[in-house]
Every structure is written in structure tokens, then in C-alpha cells.
A and B are shown apart, each in its own frame.
Chain A
């Protein structure tokens, strides 16, 4: 690992820098707070320390882009923020709730209520129609069927695919599939949307459409978005860009 001496100062500097990036005015409340987060993977006996002593604060309503070389730990960090995985050390607090203390079952429930997911490969259920895919997260709520279907259609309308409701994923283009995935991500009206390289598999035009949508979700619906990307054009749309290298924010 790189020397320990730089760590505390550089993270402090980062935090200061981040606050500065924010669009001036009164500081928005911190929504996501990572303190001394460490993440180590074990491959058999061999330990791979991917994140170490990471401190990070993300304000409510931000559109964050995480960049950095391959293997730097971007996805690892995103997974922790999304509650998909747990930290090895340190803590993650989101809206004052400590994710690191939750059991896996509690995190699953928390995810279903607080996080919308957008994946690089869309991850739609191939056998379900667009509307059924969008409705999926609502099956974890107590909403009646008619209301679920109504909300799924509303979400599809937001991404401009209402008329494709009964199409299956294989009948849609990549860009359209990703828009269906976005509809699925917002249908439960979560606070946070996480996206791991959402435009990674798309051509420029489709990618721009997706980014446009994300900006709209951020601006008009007030979603806090955390997006991992390699694409500088994508990062440009974000309100805050952070760079990760070897598990450290730079």
C-alpha cells in the first residue's frame, strides 16, 4: 500500500474540495457519510485490501460521478453505498442510518425502500415485459396490483417508453432497455440512485439520452445520484466528480 502519512491529510483535503465543487450557496445536508471505510476481499488465504480508511461525504441532491482506472475500487465503493455489500471496517451512514450495522436481510429491505439501481448491462428479466420489469420492485410493497401497474406505467412515461410497455427486453434496443431499467429504478421513488457505468454498453446518442434522463431525475425529482463511469462526457453532466485510485480518493 502507499504510505500512511498522506492518507489523513489527503482525505481531509478531498472533503474540503468536494464541498467547494457544490454549486455555491448554503451547503446541502450530507446524505451519505463514509467514515474510515475499509473493504478487504479474501481470495482463499490471500487478502486484497481494496478500500482503506476512506472518508467521504455526499450531499443530498448531488449528482456524483466516480471515476478512476480499472480495478481502483469504484464498483466496490458503489456497492457499499448501495447496501449490496458490507464494509470490512468503518461505517456508512445514510440519512443517519448506519448500514454497516445492518444484517443482510435488513439491508435488503433498506435497499428496496431507498435505492434505485441502474446497471451497465441493464439487468432486466428477459422473460418479463417492460411494464412487468418496472413493476418488480413494487412487489415488495403492499400496494394493490392496479396501483402497481399504474405506477409502472407512470415510470415508463417518465423515460418516454410508455408505448413499449408490453415489449420484452429482447424487442428493445440497448438504450431503450436502459431506460426501462431507469424506470424500474425510480418506480419506488427512492432517495438514491446508483449507476455502475450506465452508458458503458451504449453508443454515443443512446448514452447522451440516458445521461439527459439522469440529469432530469437529479434536477426535477431531486434524486441523489451516484454514478461510476469511465466516460468523461458522462462525468461532465455530474455536479461532483471524484477520482479513485488504488482505493484512495485523489
Chain B
């Protein structure tokens, strides 16, 4: 074999072209890794809400909480279903919630720009039911008032969404922010939580909830609970494990991010592969005599071929590593976008998983091999007589 150091050092002889080509590949790997990291972040944010030990019930046929409506009497029936856990006082543990979307003015962007924010009307026991959510600032809202608590990712992002400030729920109906909560990075952190009656009166939804979430005695109780919900077709209900529901909700957005990222990566990578090809062709023709000499000394065609492929691979790996390292910087960036499931804005972060980075670097390496293949074949066809030419 021709030593790898021969290829590596040759790359460093042509510093400018090597850097330019590596940067092309770095860019692709950066976009690839970043979009995968965002897709993973979306899944984590949207999909991490919910626990497998909770049952989640919506109107049959509804895709999202927004399009689901359940009358109050039904809520009691759901709470009484088999498998639902009871607290010390013998009360069923569960919450009926109602979800609406508010258009609020964004801060920090173009003046007057509005975006949707999800408003969740919750019962008094919400914070004790959802153990994963807890206040990090301010105090809980007083039941039966127009006080709200907001998820920490909304804080300061919209006009009025800050501790002690107020915003309009509906014309002339102001709500005031009294607390900030966090919820383990889930999509709840991009929501406003208010008294359920505030939503009902403001939006004319008396006697309705969007969904009911119950705690089950154990994960194994879910099947019994589900069949109780869905067996009687008259009820018109569907039940999910809560985590499964949220994962499903995240799929659309995660796929969109992956797809958009993939489309950009596809076009960029064509450019990067062509760049690598031009660079490697130049390298091969520049080193015609060296290659001829190697052939004269007895190195076989296949050895020459692999040597140049390896060189292209190393070149691409250098670029890919750059791109992957740069993409790590994205983990500092928070990214607001429309959540496809709720049509409201939600803040995602990039999840820098090691497997994403490794895979992106390897794909970068493969682009080097793709671009280097034809030049390497040309190199391998160099006649040993070239060594003798001047």
C-alpha cells in the first residue's frame, strides 16, 4: 500500500484548494447535521410531553386537541373508567383541558408581527396532576381569576408575556401573568395555562373540554382503559397512551424539518461532490509523473485507485469534521417555528446527538469518495511510461 501520509501531506501541499473543497463539504455536513439535530430537537420537544402511564382521550376522528370537543358529563364517565388511579381521598386522578390559539404580537422581530400561541385552559389541580411542570418564577394563578402562568419558552417572546404584565385573551378581556413554569423541555413550555373557565367564557365553549388526561394505576392498565373508552361506539371517543399521542404529533413537524434539510443537503451535496471531483482531477493531472513513477515502481492500478479514493475521503472527512463541529454551535440556538399540529408557534432547540454528528461526517466522507471516483480511475490508468516523460 501507498502510505496514507503521502496523501495527507499531498493535500496540505495544495492548501488553498484543499481548504476550499473541504469547506464545500463542511457546508453540506453542517446543514445535514443541523437539520437532523433540529428534527431530533422537534421530536424531543413535542414528543417528550406525556407519560406512558397516562391515558389521553379525545373526540373520535379528531387529529389534534384543537379539533376535539368532549362534553363535561363525558369527562366524569372517563374519570370513572377502569384502570384510572385514585388519590388518597378516592378522587380519580385526571384533568380535562381545553385548548385554543391566541394571536399575539411578537417582540424582537418586525413591529406589529403576530404569531399564534397555544392557550390551555386547565382545572385547579393541573400543577399537582402534571408533576413534570413546576413554577420557576412568580406564583400559581388563583382559581377562578383571569390570572395565567406561562411556559418559560414564551417569556419575553411576545408582548405582555412576562411576569407582572398583561395581554388580551379576547377583545377587552385581559389576563395577567403571575407565574412562569418549566416542563422538562416539552411543548407545554410554549403554552399559556389559564383557568379553564376563562377559555370557556371568552370563547363560548361552556360545558366543553378538548381532551381528558388520566393517570393509570399502571402502564399495563392502558389496554383495559382503552377498550372501555372505545368499545362503546356511542361515546365517540379515542384513547392513546399520552406519550404516544405526543410522539405522533411531533412526527409531521419533525419530518418536515428532515425533508427541508434533506432537500437543501441534496442540492448542496451535488455542488460539494463536483467540487471534490474538480479538485481531485487537478490533483491527478498535477501528479501525473508521481503516479507514473509509482506505477513504474510496481504499484498496481487498484493500489493507485484506492490511494486517490482515500485521499478524497480524507479530504472530505476533514471538511465533514469542520462542518460537524460548526453544527455543534447550533445547540446554542433556539429556533421558533410553527408547530404543524397546533398551528401555534413553538420553540425548538437543536439536539446535538453524537450519532447524528458521526453519521453526517461519514456521509461527508462518502461525498468525497463519490467526487473522487472518476479522478481516481483516471489516476489508476496512468501509464508507467509517464514516469519517463519530462
Q: Residue B297 contacts which of A85, A105, A112, A120 (CB distance < 8 angstroms)?
A: A112
Q: Is the CB of A117 within 8 A of B300?
A: no
Tell whether B290 is near chain A: CB-to-CB under 8 Å: yes
Q: Residue A117 contacts which of B3, B10, B296, B390 (CB distance < 8 angstroms)?
A: B296
A58 to B388, CA, bound (A): 22
State which residues 101-139 of A face B: CB under 8 Å.
104-105, 108-109, 111-113, 117, 119-121, 123, 125-128, 132, 136-137, 139
Given the complex, which residues of A lie within 8 Å of B293, measured CB to CB? Answer: 117, 119, 123, 125
Q: Residue B387 contacts which of A108, A113, A119, A128 (CB distance < 8 angstroms)?
A: A119
Q: Is the CB of A79 within 8 A of B298?
A: no
Query: Which chain B residue has the least Cβ–Cβ distance from A124?
Result: B293
**Residue-wise interface mask of B (277-318) relative to A, using a CB-CB cutoff of 8 A (1 in contact, 0 not):** 000000000000110011111111100000000000000000
Given the complex, which residues of B lie within 8 Å of A136, measured CB to CB? Answer: 294, 297
A73 to B299, CA, bound (A): 26
Q: Is the CB of B298 within 8 A of A85?
A: no
Tell whether A64 is near chain B: CB-to-CB under 8 Å: no
Q: Is the CB of A117 within 8 A of B387?
A: yes
Tell whether A140 is near chain B: CB-to-CB under 8 Å: yes
Q: Is the CB of B6 within 8 A of A127?
A: yes
Given the complex, which residues of B lie within 8 Å of A127, measured CB to CB? Answer: 5-6, 9-10, 13
Evaluate whether A79 and B13 lie within 8 angstroms (CB atoms) in the complex, with A105-B301, A140-B298 already known: no
Given the complex, which residues of A lie within 8 Å of B296, measured CB to CB? Answer: 82, 84, 111, 117
Tell whether A93 is near chain B: CB-to-CB under 8 Å: no
Query: Which chain A residue has the least Cβ–Cβ distance from B302?
Result: A105
**Chain A interfacial residues counted at CB < 8 A:** 29
Given the complex, which residues of A lie within 8 Å of B301, measured CB to CB? Answer: 104-105
Q: Residue A108 contacts which of B1, B2, B5, B299 (CB distance < 8 angstroms)?
A: B299
Tell whether B385 is near chain A: CB-to-CB under 8 Å: yes
Tell whether A154 is near chain B: CB-to-CB under 8 Å: no
Q: Is the CB of B297 within 8 A of A137?
A: yes
Nearest chain A CB to B69 CB, angstrom units: 73
Tell whether A196 is near chain B: CB-to-CB under 8 Å: yes
Q: Is the CB of B298 within 8 A of A109?
A: yes
Given the complex, which residues of B lie within 8 Å of A126, measured CB to CB? Answer: 13, 290
Given the complex, which residues of A lie within 8 Å of B299, measured CB to CB? Answer: 108, 112, 140
The contact size tier of chain B is 20 to 34
Given the complex, which residues of A lie within 8 Å of B94, measured CB to CB? Answer: none
Evaluate whether A85 and B6 lie within 8 angstroms (CB atoms) in the complex, with A105-B301, A108-B298, A117-B297 already known: no
Q: Is the CB of A111 within 8 A of B298?
A: yes
Query: Which chain B residue has the least Cβ–Cβ distance from A114?
Result: B298
Tell whether A14 is near chain B: CB-to-CB under 8 Å: no
Query: Which chain B residue has the least Cβ–Cβ distance from A117?
Result: B296
Given the complex, which residues of A lie within 8 Å of B289, measured CB to CB? Answer: 121, 123
Given the complex, which residues of B lie within 8 Å of A108, measured CB to CB? Answer: 295, 298-300, 384
Given the complex, which residues of A lie within 8 Å of B297, measured CB to CB? Answer: 111-112, 117, 136-137, 140, 184
Nearest chain B CB to A19 CB, angstrom units: 29
Evaluate whether A79 and B388 lie within 8 angstroms (CB atoms) in the complex, with A84-B296, A108-B298, A123-B293 already known: yes
Given the complex, which residues of B lie within 8 Å of A104, measured CB to CB? Answer: 301
Tell whether A75 is near chain B: CB-to-CB under 8 Å: yes
A125 to B385, CA, bound (A): 17
Q: Is the CB of B2 within 8 A of A75?
A: no
Given the complex, which residues of A lie within 8 Å of B390, measured CB to CB? Answer: 120-121
A120 to B390, CA, bound (A): 8
Q: Is the CB of B290 within 8 A of A79?
A: no
Q: Residue B388 contacts which of A112, A119, A137, A184 (CB distance < 8 angstroms)?
A: A119
**Residue-wise interface mask of B (1-39) relative to A, using a CB-CB cutoff of 8 A (1 in contact, 0 not):** 111011001100100000000000000000000000000
Q: Is the CB of B385 within 8 A of A84?
A: yes
27 A-B pairs within 8 Å (CB atoms) are namely A75-B388, A79-B385, A84-B385, A85-B384, A85-B385, A105-B301, A108-B298, A109-B298, A109-B300, A117-B297, A117-B387, A119-B387, A121-B289, A121-B390, A123-B290, A125-B290, A125-B293, A127-B5, A128-B5, A132-B3, A136-B294, A136-B297, A137-B297, A137-B298, A139-B2, A140-B298, A140-B299
Interface residues of chain B, those whose CB is within 8 Å of chain A, are 1-3, 5-6, 9-10, 13, 289-290, 293-301, 383-385, 387-388, 390
